[in-house]
Structure 1
């Protein structure tokens, strides 16, 4: 049984003006997401600024999310690291806290070989009993998870069950689904490629756009899965300007700006990320107005 089908939100981590995590606001935006029919909460991923959270904060945010969600939707904890032992530590703690699955980004900066990736993922997955979702985003990590590597991991490691694919390479995704014989839970990691990946056997998206439009993204996926491919395709194409605007600067700069425009008061970003440029904010605001989400 799939961890989830539909649109899971790669949720932001709200901050106070002084840079501390705003746990009260996190509870509010989690409730907004559940009310908006989001299908899963993905906590402490890239969009959640996990790279600038201490290990203690990282785990505190995961625990808070799990407690707030209270099993109403699945919680997938981002516990990846470029250090295998750190990923094992975070994953064990997330399992103990009650997460439903973990999301493991490829090791960044040190750029492991494919052999190294197999060893890394096998060690982390074997340290827990939770389902594992791999996360391939070479534009950020400098490390590509090859289809043959994914196929080997899915074949040999029982609890590696899914992948968030954000390579942007549709041919690579097709090869991945061919080599795994479709026996993997495929989630788009790019909001502008949801329908193309659904057409290759995908079952959903782990979405940045869902932070500002959870029901829209949920409906787009569900239309496709329910057989309304034309309706889903129209929603995908209509959302392209918003997708582009939310990635015109490094994620999560634009999405936090968008949520603050919506009055959600998710606060600033942690350095070295900076606030969105005024001209880009103006463009984003106009697109959100056009879509009726502002």
Structure 2
């Protein structure tokens, strides 16, 4: 296991497309500036949000390189390299190391399900070994991969067997299990939270970092929530989390990531739409979405939250190694 730790909000980045579906890589750099200005302390590239599984291997390499170059070591870039073909995942991991990414992450294969701890260990060991100088984070998202391997038992089994194994990206809603992951071995594994609508609960449980899609647009609001929690203003923090939940529910009435890209377009970052099988919004859906978003308090609160960003270190935001 490595000693590096992630901290703060880490934006799960979107992949920009032209109208014809080809990559629009020139739009990556302005987005990175926006994400850093908003208070994000890392970028998670080619994950579920970034449609990594809908990209070719070459496209994934190009997207990862564009984000690594734009970040220029100002914030860590974690590249998600999971693939149903382990050889392709290893290629992507090696490429991430070559381009100067700061960490590698991977889901397990999902077509043929990983059903036991040894099989999962072999997958993780193979991918992690392809980028031996980078910390590796297993992307635990059982709702998508279908893997029901007990994650606590897996961490216990893997402990000490993979030199660059750093921890997990935990995208499930079992806070009790997440707390167990955090506490294993006196906190030796870096467990990063992955469900935006339960971030407050995760912080209360002990999370030091979180990766999320909605951090692309609501990072200042989440940072205000974190400051409220750390200043014992629990009611205020709960209200902000509720605003986030309302926002996520509103977008969830439509294809979520397509809706997020539509919102990014409204904010000046036209990343196109999502690739099939994720569908585009109809004109009537776009109109209804715009109207619904105008009534959400969390969007009106963005300017307020942005103005409250401070340079004073906060525990959640300044707890690296």
TM over 0.5: yes
Out of 4, 7, 10, the residue aligned to residue 9 of structure 2 is: 7
SS of structure 1 residue aligned to 2:104: strand
Unaligned segments of structure 2, at least 5 residues: 304-321
Q: How many Å separate the matches in 2 of 1:116 and 1:100?
A: 26
Structure 1: which 5+ residue stretches go unaligned? none
Cα separation, partners in 2 of 1:261 and 1:130, compared to 1, 3 Å? same
User: In the alignment, is the contact (CA less than 8 A) between 2:247 and 2:298 conserved in 1?
Assistant: no
Deviations 1:193-222 (A, max 9, x none): 112222222112101111112222344345
SS of 1:123 mapped into structure 2: helix
**Structure number with bigger Rg:** 2
Q: How does 1:246-257 map to 2 (within 5 A)?
A: 246-257=251-262
8 A contact 1:79–1:102 mirrored in 2: yes
1:153 maps to which residue?
Answer: 158
**CA RMSD, aligned part only?**
2.3
**TM-score, with structure 1 as normaliser:** 0.90
Aligned residues: 293
Alignment of 1:132-281 (within 5 A): 132-146=136-150, 147-221=152-226, 224=229, 226=230, 228=232, 230=234, 231-276=236-281, 278=285, 281=289
Distance 1:248 1:181 in 2: 41
- Stretch deviating more after TM superposition (125-134 or 7-16): 125-134
- Does the Cα contact within 8 Å between 1:242 and 1:287 map onto a contact in 2? no
Change (3 A) 1:290 1:34: closer
TM-score by length of 2: 0.83
Q: Determine helix, strand or coil for the equivalent of 1:68.
A: helix
Per the TM alignment, residue 98 of structure 1 is displaced from its structure 2 partner at its CA by 0.3
User: Which position in structure 2 is the counterpart of 1:122?
Assistant: 125
1:39–1:287: structure 2 CA closer, same or farther, 3 Å change rule? farther
Counterpart-to-counterpart distance in 1, 2:124 and 2:114? 11
